[in-house]
């Protein structure tokens, strides 16, 4: 069974695919977005929506809704064995006016993207997984698990870490994985500040807490039980969701082959430290959409431009994330000493936190694509 052709077939309706569908549709490009899952995700997963993502999504109306529902972060506290070593207060009004880092469960971010997309008449088609693809100089042909064959001018693989699109392109996914299991849980907590992200270096390992709606917190760490290691005065209630994960850092050698491009976790994965995962995917989606307009007008080299520009940004973050995660996780004596001293020194450097956030949140490079 074969379907009428479409300009862009998007594989995967996670945040990357949904954002791509939204950006492309707003540019007047006809898309279909398919996902092998039976319906939208329900778990919180990535929480941080960064200023750069908020900027890119502003014209879609999604930013206003994320800001309305989400929790802004005004303080970043660093502690060592229970004692605060540094308190950073980002100047959002200077580095990203009106767009502070906002915490919202990924399922809600995805729902808001999907609602904005539905308002434009496009809905993800669930239960339709990519099973294979071929391409010629003029088009891409994709096979779906429904038995349908779809012909498209371009295909965007936003199908996550185990991307079928990446496999179909026969691309490696080189990198490394750590054996140390990290624990992650969403817990209702009383007595904790609602606008403060916190990292505490403990002998048992790092403990990160991040507030989201209504007194619910994400806790990430490794080592023994996390809840008994919360700060004094914090009272943990029910655990709403938990998961264990192992950190991998991987980057595809190229983000496009001919008429097929990759974006989001399909192209790069890294640890959640720094909260950039979902945000890099939204940035990829935006740049892909901008380049697609020219590609559909006959300049296919713009897809190669997309691949070049985003590979540089994404690979740089995968490397930064690897270093940052290694530092946070290391239990060696010299690094533990550094973790005790460095935050208080950094806090004395004017503008340190603003510069670090600019780098970590994608505000250190232009969105332009040439
Ligand atoms: C437990 C957990 C916690 C996390 N915590 C954080 C965090 O705190 N901070 C952070 O930044 N990131 C976090 N992440 C990572 C973050 O969730 C991802 O970076 C983000 O979801 C990437 O979005 P994506 O759209 O690229 O891929 P995904 O969200 O993985 O979406 C891919 C979509 O493609 C679909 N799909 C897969 N194969 C096919 C196929 N063959 N055909 C069609 N569809 C297909 C899937 O069903 C899925 O809907 C976490 C991830 C997990 C699993």
Backbone angles phi, psi at 291, to 5 degrees: -75, -30
Cβ < 6 A, ligand 1 pocket:
11-17, 34-37, 45-48, 106, 129-130, 158-160, 164, 184, 243, 245, 264-265, 272, 275-278, 281
Q: Is residue 170 part of a domain?
A: yes
C-alpha 106 to ligand 1 mean position (Å): 9
C-alpha 75 to ligand 1 mean position (Å): 27
The b-or-e profile of 198-219 (16+ CB within 10 A means b, else e) is bbbbbeebbbbbbbbeeebbbb
Q: Is residue 206 part of a domain?
A: no
Domain count along the chain: 1
Q: Is residue 118 part of a domain?
A: yes
C-alpha 209 to ligand 1 mean position (Å): 21
C-alpha 281 to ligand 1 mean position (Å): 10
Nearest CA to ligand 1 atom 4: 45
Give mean pLDDT in consecutive 10-residue pieces for the chain, a chain of 370 residues. 78 98 98 98 92 96 96 94 93 91 95 98 98 97 98 98 98 94 93 94 93 90 87 94 92 98 98 91 97 96 97 96 90 88 89 86 71
Nearest CA to ligand 1 atom 20: 278
Calpha distance 208→218 (Å, rounded): 8
Please list, in sequence order, all residues whose beta carbon lies within 8 angstroms of the beta carbon of residue 107, skipping any fewer than 6 positions away.
40, 41, 42, 43, 44, 45
Backbone angles phi, psi at 352, to 5 degrees: -55, -50
State the residue range of the domain holding 120: 6-65+107-177+248-338+351-360
The pLDDT assigned to 2 comes to 56
Task: Report which of 38, 32, 31, 35 is spatially closest to residue 15, judged by C-alpha positions.
Answer: 35
Angle at CA 320, nearest 5°, toward 317 and 321? 85
Q: Is residue 18 part of a domain?
A: yes
The pLDDT assigned to 320 comes to 94
The pLDDT assigned to 125 comes to 98
Please give the structure tokens belonging to residue 26.
């707003």
Please give the structure tokens belonging to residue 338.
């550094």
CATH number of the domain that 134 lies in? 3.50.50.60
CA-CA-CA-CA dihedral for 125, 131, 135, 138, to nearest 10: -20
Q: Is residue 217 part of a domain?
A: no
Atom of ligand 1 nearest to the CA of 145: 42
The pLDDT assigned to 308 comes to 96
Atom of ligand 1 nearest to the CA of 164: 41
Angle at CA 147, nearest 5°, toward 141 and 149? 20
The pLDDT assigned to 68 comes to 95
C-alpha 34 to ligand 1 mean position (Å): 14
The pLDDT assigned to 3 comes to 56
Q: Is residue 367 part of a domain?
A: no
Nearest CA to ligand 1 atom 1: 45
Please list, in sequence order, all residues whose beta carbon lies within 8 angstroms of the beta carbon of residue 81, skipping any fewer than 6 positions away.
200, 201, 202, 203
Nearest CA to ligand 1 atom 52: 45
The pLDDT assigned to 4 comes to 55
189-225 pLDDT per residue, tens: 999 999 999 999 998 899 999 998 789 999 999 866 8
H-helix or E-strand spanning residue 266:
none
Question: Rounded to a whole number, what is the largest CA-CA distance in the chain?
Answer: 66
Nearest CA to ligand 1 atom 44: 35
248-272 pLDDT per residue, tens: 999 999 999 999 999 999 999 999 8
Q: Is residue 300 part of a domain?
A: yes
Question: In this structure, are strands 6-11 and 149-157 parallel, antiparallel, or unpaired?
Answer: parallel
Atom of ligand 1 nearest to the CA of 275: 11
User: Candidates 19, 36, 40, 45: which one to mutate for ligand 1, based on the most atoms within 8 Å of Cβ?
Assistant: 45
Contacts of 109-112 with CB under 8 Å at 24 or more apart are: 109/15, 109/46, 109/49, 109/66, 109/278, 110/13, 110/14, 110/15, 110/18, 110/40, 110/41, 111/40, 112/62, 112/65, 112/66, 112/69
If you write DSSP's letter for every residue of 18-60 in order, what string do you get?
A: HHHHHHHHHTT--EEEEESSSS---S----EE-HHHHHHHGGG
Q: Is residue 120 part of a domain?
A: yes
Please report, in angstroms and rounded to a whole number, the separation of the first and last CA atoms in the chain: 40
Atom of ligand 1 nearest to the CA of 266: 26
Residues 75, 67 contacting (CB under 8 angstroms): no
C-alpha 118 to ligand 1 mean position (Å): 21
User: Candidates 9, 33, 34, 36: which one to mutate for ligand 1, based on the most atoms within 8 Å of Cβ?
Assistant: 36
C-alpha 14 to ligand 1 mean position (Å): 6
Nearest CA to ligand 1 atom 36: 159
C-alpha 160 to ligand 1 mean position (Å): 5
The pLDDT assigned to 368 comes to 58
For the beta carbon of residue 227, count every other beta carbon within 10 angstroms.
12
Residues 237, 185 contacting (CB under 8 angstroms): no
CA Rg value for the chain: 21
Calpha distance 218→197 (Å, rounded): 10
């Amino acid at each position: 069974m074969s379907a009428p052709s479409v300009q862009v077939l998007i594989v995967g309706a996670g945040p990357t695919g949904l954002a791509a569908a939204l950006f492309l549709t707003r540019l007047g490009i006809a898309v279909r977005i398919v996902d092998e899952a039976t319906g939208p995700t329900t778990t919180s997963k990535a929480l941080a929506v960064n200023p750069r993502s908020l900027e890119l999504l502003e014209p879609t109306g999604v930013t206003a809704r994320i800001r309305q529902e989400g929790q802004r972060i005004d303080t970043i506290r660093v502690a060592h064995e229970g004692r605060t070593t540094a308190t950073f207060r980002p100047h959002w009004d200077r580095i990203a006016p009106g767009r502070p880092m906002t915490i919202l469960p990924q399922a809600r971010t995805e729902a808001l993207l999907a609602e904005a997309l539905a308002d434009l008449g496009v809905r993800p088609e669930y239960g339709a997984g990519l099973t294979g693809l071929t391409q010629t100089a003029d088009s891409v042909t994709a096979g779906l698990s429904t038995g349908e064959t779809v012909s498209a001018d371009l295909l965007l693989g936003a199908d996550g870490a185990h991307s079928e699109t990446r496999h179909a392109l026969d691309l490696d996914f080189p990198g490394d994985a750590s054996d140390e299991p990290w624990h992650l849980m969403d817990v209702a907590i009383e007595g904790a500040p609602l606008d403060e992200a916190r990292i505490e270096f403990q002998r048992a390992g790092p403990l990160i807490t991040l507030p989201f709606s209504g007194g619910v917190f994400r806790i990430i760490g490794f080592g023994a039980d996390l809840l008994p290691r919360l700060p004094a005065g914090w009272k943990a209630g029910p655990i709403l969701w938990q998961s264990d994960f192992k950190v991998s850092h991987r980057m595809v050698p190229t983000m496009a082959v001919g008429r097929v491009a990759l974006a989001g976790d399909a192209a790069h994965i890294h640890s959640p430290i720094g909260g950039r995962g979902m945000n890099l995917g939204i940035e990829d989606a935006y740049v892909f959409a901008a380049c697609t307009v020219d590609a559909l007008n006959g300049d296919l080299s713009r897809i190669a431009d997309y691949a070049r520009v985003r590979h540089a940004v994404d690979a740089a973050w995968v490397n930064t994330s690897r270093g940052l995660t290694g530092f946070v996780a290391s239990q060696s004596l010299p690094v533990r000493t550094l973790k005790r001293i460095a935050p208080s020194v950094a806090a004395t450097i004017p503008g340190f936190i603003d510069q670090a956030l600019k780098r970590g949140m994608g505000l250190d490079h232009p969105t332009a694509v040439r």
